[in-house]
Structure 1
Amino acid sequence: MYRSRKTPLAITLLLCLTLLLSACSTGGTGSPSANEGSQKPTNQIAANNANNTDTQSQMKTVTTIKGDIEVPVNPQRVVVLYLMGDLLALGVNPVGISSIEEGAAFASELEGATSLGAFKPDPEAVTALNPDLIIVTNEEIYEGLKMIAPTVYIPYDLPVEERMNMLGEILGKEGQAQEMLDNLHKKVEQSKEKLEQAGILDKTVTIMESNKGSMAVMTGLGYGRGSQIIYQYLGMKAPEVLQREIENARNDATSKDVSYEVLPEYVGDYIFRSSFEGMVDLSDNSIWNNIPAVKEGRLIDMSFGLFFYNDIYSLDKQLDFIVDNLLKTAE
């Protein structure tokens, strides 16, 4: 009797131990109800990190003057030379820029960016900024920087419409680029109406900058100094002797040195003179002082820094200055 009762008890204990071990094992592998809550956040974090990495590394192909180039879909660290105002107008704050001329329209907007100098930037300085996109306006500089990061070459003398369309595609801001162009064109038309009502729109204009012993007279739209706003957008004309050269040069960055002896032949109803510290003082020059535009108060001095650039941000401010000062002469 004793042995027959002992055997079932051992079997029972063994069976209980087996069930207990089985239950522990089941908990270790994780039941849906016990482990879903603890695993889901970890999985979500991993997924989010993967998405962020994908977004940062995502690339697209754009067609440039130098062929097809892979650029970031959403660039975060852009180095841009000369065309800083175009990027600002598109809502992009660059990390590296070329040095800014004093008086530039966008100077206060770029105080946090690293200046890379006025001319050829040091590749090591550019590399130190860890850029994911570089935009340049000089072919030689393009060759020197293109191995650092995706680099786009955009010639500085391209018409602003073509340049903004290119930048809009490169930066993924096509709609914003078109909006900026539409706003500029609308403002130009309004400005032309004001000048026409004041009897100024059909007057002739000469744009010049003092040199030692001569005067540089603008003959191309790519030289800046207000030439694009005055001759292209507002459609005002230069004296006939210059107008033919302007039409032939189109967007080229060209000027013509004219001696003071023959300068009156090149001067229109209005003069816009690029002014800067240390420019030639003509206050005692009798030829200069007897030019009708100078003698009759139609000489308008413009800041070299404001009119040095031809980006859309600067063009907008230049338009304001030119129209306001022309209208003042009619008051």
Structure 2
Amino acid sequence: MRNLRDHLLVCFIVLVLAVLTACGNTNPASSTQDSRSDQTAEASDANQASTTTTQQDGAQVNTFKHDFGSIEVPAHPQRIAGLYLEDYLVALGIKPVTQTVIGSFSLKYLQSSIGDLPKVDTSAIDYEAMLAARPDLILLAFPSYANDGNYEKFSSIAPTYVFGADAPDQWREALRTIGELTGKQAEAEKVLQSYDSKVKDAKAKLKAAIGDETVGFVRVRSNKEIRLYGGPGGYVGNVLYTDLGLNPPQIAKDLAWGEDSGMAVISKEIIPEITADHLFITYDEGGKDLAQELINSSIWKSLPAVKNNQTYEVSMDHWMTFGPLAYNKKVDDVLQALVK
């Protein structure tokens, strides 16, 4: 009986050793390889899903950096809202999904293209109206539109690109940037070429018409403020003095000239010093009566340009904005006034 127990014990030990040996002979490399294979398969699945998503989107996504961060934009966004940038969009053949107003002020010269669009008032932004327009890209003309948490609000609606404070002076670069953002680079270059060709022709005509005579520009605001415009940049200076090469009156050089100053608020006492040969005047909405009061004053009537019947009223609507369409209209105004 004891021999039987000993025999069974030996058999049991042999069996255990055999099992342990079999376990010990499992290939660690093979085990690791299996684990790596599983991980590779998972990674491959993840990459495939990402690639599929990109393919399903059906368009390249471009990343653009700006002062408020970076955004990802489809190569050809379809629904674009451009606050105070509608001029650029229309020039590129794009109909925006909203139109900018500032209180009672609207871009009247663009109404044939954007008059039927919902309004977004930048003096009190209605984000619900912006959301309802369903943009897939929002463009803001000035950093002030994005400050105080507004950028985050716009970005919650759609990717939002903010232009720098120098956009009015750097409008050509702004147009090219919008061309890149919207996939309209070629159209942007055509717009610039057309404008530059127009300016070149206009400069020749103006030189022949008025030579070195001086040209000034005054604006009357609804708050009774009188502004004298200079250059070399700004809404007025960019066209009159930089693009068209016209000569400003000395008072504009003295008070409203420099990289940081293309405009000066002046008192009525300064008006007699506006000795320009030619003088443009515009006024804000609500400022017409004030402008007429100035025009009827003896101070105004004493100016050389007034005495020689060389004053010209132009629309504040496109003069106090920027963009290729507005700039083309400004050139047209100058040619109509000065080339007889």
TM category (shorter chain) comes to 0.7 to 0.9
Q: 2:215, 2:279 within 8 Å by CA — same for their partners in 1?
A: yes
Q: What is residue 64 of structure 2 aligned with on the other side?
A: 62
The Cα of 1:84 is off from its aligned counterpart by 0.5
2:117 maps to 1:113: yes
Q: How does 1:106-145 map to 2 (within 5 A)?
A: 106-142=110-146, 143=151, 144-145=153-154
CA displacement, residues 241-295 of structure 1 (integer Å, 9 cap, x when unaligned): 3225554236x5x421222223121331111101345431224311111111012
The Cα of 1:99 is off from its aligned counterpart by 1.9
Unaligned 5+ runs, structure 1: 1-49
With structure 1 as the length reference, what TM-score do the two structures score?
Answer: 0.75
Q: How does 1:260-271 map to 2 (within 5 A)?
A: 260-271=268-279
* Aligned match for 2:332, one of 298, 320, 323: 320
CA displacement, residues 62-97 of structure 1 (integer Å, 9 cap, x when unaligned): 233334321121111111111101100111101112
User: What is the identity, as a one-letter code, of the residue corresponding to 1:270?
Assistant: H
How far apart, CA to CA, are the structure 1 residues paired with 2:57 and 2:263?
A: 49
The CA RMSD over aligned residues, in Å, is: 2.4
CA gap of 1:267–1:215, structure 2 versus 1, over 3 A, is farther
Unaligned 5+ runs, structure 2: 1-52
* Aligned match for 2:174, one of 163, 177, 182: 163
Q: How does 1:18-97 map to 2 (within 5 A)?
A: 54-55=57-58, 58-97=60-99
Q: What is residue 172 of structure 1 aligned with on the other side?
A: 183
The Cα of 1:219 is off from its aligned counterpart by 3.3
SS of alignment partner, residue 99 of structure 1: strand
Q: What is residue 206 of structure 2 aligned with on the other side?
A: 195
User: What is the identity, as a one-letter code, of the residue corresponding to 1:248?
Assistant: G
SS of alignment partner, residue 305 of structure 1: helix
The Cα of 1:52 is off from its aligned counterpart by 9.3
How far apart, CA to CA, are the structure 2 residues paired with 1:272 and 1:92?
A: 32
The Cα of 1:119 is off from its aligned counterpart by 2.4
User: What is the identity, as a one-letter code, of the residue corresponding to 2:270?
Assistant: V
With structure 2 as the length reference, what TM-score do the two structures score?
Answer: 0.73
Q: 2:282, 2:313 within 8 Å by CA — same for their partners in 1?
A: yes
Q: What is residue 288 of structure 1 aligned with on the other side?
A: 300
* Aligned match for 1:207, one of 179, 195, 217: 217
How far apart, CA to CA, are the structure 2 residues paired with 1:274 and 1:300?
A: 9
How far apart, CA to CA, are the structure 2 residues paired with 1:304 and 1:195?
A: 22
How far apart, CA to CA, are the structure 1 residues paired with 2:107 and 2:185?
A: 29
The Cα of 1:228 is off from its aligned counterpart by 1.9
The Cα of 1:59 is off from its aligned counterpart by 1.8
How far apart, CA to CA, are the structure 2 residues paired with 1:81 and 1:222?
A: 21
The Cα of 1:121 is off from its aligned counterpart by 1.8
The Cα of 1:105 is off from its aligned counterpart by 2.4
Q: What is residue 282 of structure 2 aligned with on the other side?
A: 274
* Aligned match for 1:232, one of 232, 242, 249: 242
Percent same amino acid among aligned pairs?
A: 28
CA displacement, residues 214-253 of structure 1 (integer Å, 9 cap, x when unaligned): 62111345542x3321111001121223225554236x5x
How far apart, CA to CA, are the structure 1 residues paired with 2:64 and 2:306?
A: 50
CA displacement, residues 111-141 of structure 1 (integer Å, 9 cap, x when unaligned): 2321112424222221122110000023243
Q: 1:95, 1:114 within 8 Å by CA — same for their partners in 2?
A: yes
How far apart, CA to CA, are the structure 2 residues paired with 1:103 and 1:296?
A: 33
Q: 1:134, 1:149 within 8 Å by CA — same for their partners in 2?
A: yes
Q: 1:55, 1:74 within 8 Å by CA — same for their partners in 2?
A: no
SS of alignment partner, residue 62 of structure 1: strand
How far apart, CA to CA, are the structure 1 residues paired with 2:107 and 2:99?
A: 16
User: What is the identity, as a one-letter code, of the residue corresponding to 2:70?
Assistant: D
SS of alignment partner, residue 98 of structure 1: strand
How far apart, CA to CA, are the structure 1 residues paired with 2:330 and 2:130?
A: 31
Q: 2:220, 2:287 within 8 Å by CA — same for their partners in 1?
A: no
* Aligned match for 1:258, one of 258, 266, 281: 266
